[in-house]
Structure 1
Amino acid sequence: MLSFLSYTNFNDPQGKIVPHSYKGWKGSCTCCWYFPVAVSCLPLSAIPRTGFVLEQSRLFKLFLLPVFLRYFLTSKTVHSAVLLVGLCDAGKTLLFSRLLSGKFKQTQTSITDSSAQYKAKNDRGATWTLIDLPGHDSLRPQYLEKFKSAARAIVFVVDSAIFQKEVRDVAEFLYVLLTDTVICRNTPTLLVACNKQDVTMAKSAKLIQQQLEKEMNTLRVTRSAALSSQDGSAGGSLYLGKKGKDFQFSQLPMKVEFMECSGRGSKGEEGDADIQSLESSLAQL
């Protein structure tokens, strides 16, 4: 079989383009070692050390270019995970159980991740890998590092009942997430689930958003000042929001939603959870 590739032997004074034929599939070829194609190719032994050229540039466009494109398009990371993150005791594991089975479950502080397939409540029947990450501050970094590149969405769970006490810690964790280079590049949807709305003293989603924006604005100033004092320039860090303006979640490159929910539900353990707004947002991913 005659290969569509040919090489120029630069040692040949006449510089002829000499076609080569090669039967079988042995070894590798410098033109298609990474991109096998259904044509016969030149073995390494048949190619002169001085190099080779394509017979015509149009052959590259017709045959190799589509293969290159297919390789790069299919080699991208698939973002199919929904991460449940937040501080300890925010109610992540109960939400994890409610989303999967609808049932109430007694939970305890997680020390490792849990994952399962979650089918979105929509006509498309989309399926995501739901992953519950530990909330302890000594465990969060390693698990976030492990799963962040696969995140299609991040559900940031907030304990609305004691938010006033935890606002600084919540803002700091959120700041770390939103200035992470991988997360900024992939821009997963951010769903801030203001949980435990069944508790009387729970703060509303609107109030939580406003207080977090204010706290994040303060954090942005102090973090930037700390970096500048260390190396004389804050240029190496990711700037959150827009310079010269107070921070707002609407300035971020990813979609952000705040919603109210309750993993326990208003009727307690025997009743249903109040997670319709969360399920609706997950259905739109």
Structure 2
Amino acid sequence: MTQSLLRSVLPPQVLINDNEYITLGLILVLITLIALAASFSFGAKKNSKNTVLITGLPFAGKTVIHYLINHDKAVETVTSIKENEADVVLTEGKPSIHMVDIPGHERLRFKFTEFMPIARAVVFVVDSATVSRQTRLLAEYLYDILSNKFTQEERIPVLIACNKTELLTAFRKERIQTALEVEINKLRQTRTAALDTQDSEGNENVFLGFEGKEFSFQDLENEVEFLECSAENKDMEGIKDWIASVSS
């Protein structure tokens, strides 16, 4: 049956030594080689993306976290006007990770788009003590990151690091997650008016989650995780572990 099927599909001059089995075997070998080459190419592309972005609004603690992870020490910081970059080895024997701290100022935070093509992961830092006053701004910025075409295509994981948990006024991560889900649910109604268009930053206005269903981070194709931390107390192990896990 295989012989007659192969003869009906391939012209006679393609058959090797007029033998269907030899021809079929070589075709299978060729298909296997192509699949292996594609797999290697995909793996090499993924491994080349070793950049982790640290983003968030001003005064959330991004730069302090950046220095703690890279230099294991806290520094006095002011609002950044330029991205901070450094290479760090989080796991002995593993390649270094390129970390980029993106300025949080409203005129500069869009610069995250320049690094998305090489991004392996994004750490979005939230001030847990002021989140109730900044929920809309946080949701807008987070929406831009989650709807970025590279986040969508590469399913880039996002960690929402709820910083300043040492403060009495800090919200727990569950409450922050709920607040952001409610706000993004409202926000996506206005964003969908621009479906299938691109803005000046190259972000596609996609609909996050499922239509007809309240927004939930669990409905996204890329991983979104919430974690509590305290730069003041140098509590960075959770962030380091997460970065190491998504970069391996």
TM-score normalised by structure 2 residue count: 0.77
Matched, 1:248 2:227: no
Deviation at 1:65, TM superposition (A): 5.4
* Structure 1 residue aligned with 2:58: 88
Change (3 A) 1:75 1:205: closer
What are the within-5 Å matches in structure 2 for residues 198-209 of structure 1?
198-209=166-177
SS at match of 2:144: helix
Matched, 1:215 2:183: yes
Q: Which one has more relative contact order, counting CA pairs under 8 Å at least 6 apart?
A: 2
CA deviation profile, 1:171-218 (whole Å, cap 9, x unmatched): 000111111112111111110000111221111111000100011101
* Structure 2 residue aligned with 1:12: none
Mapped to 1, the partners of 2:231 and 2:142 lie a distance apart of: 21
- Residue correspondences, number: 213
Change (3 A) 1:74 1:215: closer
Q: Which runs of 4+ in 1 moved over 6 A?
A: none
Structure number, greater radius of gyration: 1
Mapped to 1, the partners of 2:184 and 2:228 lie a distance apart of: 20
Change (3 A) 1:207 1:69: closer
Matched, 1:138 2:138: no
Change (3 A) 1:170 1:73: closer
**Kept after mapping to 2: 8 A contact 1:114/1:132:** yes
Mapped to 2, the partners of 1:240 and 1:65 lie a distance apart of: 35
Matched, 1:283 2:244: yes
**Kept after mapping to 2: 8 A contact 1:149/1:186:** no
Mapped to 2, the partners of 1:223 and 1:145 lie a distance apart of: 18
Matched, 1:125 2:86: no
SS at match of 1:76: helix
Select the structure that is richer in helix.
Answer: 2
* Structure 1 residue aligned with 2:79: 109
What is the identity percentage for the equivalent residue pairs of Structure 1 and Structure 2?
A: 33
Mapped to 2, the partners of 1:74 and 1:280 lie a distance apart of: 22
* Structure 2 residue aligned with 1:31: none
Q: Which amino acid aligns with 2:162?
A: C
**Kept after mapping to 2: 8 A contact 1:85/1:133:** yes
In structure 1, runs of 5+ residues without a counterpart are 1-55, 231-235, 266-272
* Structure 2 residue aligned with 1:5: none
What are the within-5 Å matches in structure 2 for residues 62-81 of structure 1?
69=38, 72-73=41-42, 76=45, 78-81=48-51
Matched, 1:191 2:152: no
Deviation at 1:67, TM superposition (A): 10
Matched, 1:154 2:115: no
CA deviation profile, 1:148-187 (whole Å, cap 9, x unmatched): 1111110000011111110100000011111111211111
Mapped to 2, the partners of 1:181 and 1:223 lie a distance apart of: 15
* Structure 2 residue aligned with 1:19: none
In structure 2, runs of 5+ residues without a counterpart are 1-22, 198-203
Deviation at 1:70, TM superposition (A): 8.4
**Kept after mapping to 1: 8 A contact 2:150/2:156:** no
**Kept after mapping to 2: 8 A contact 1:113/1:133:** yes
Q: CA RMSD in A?
A: 2.7
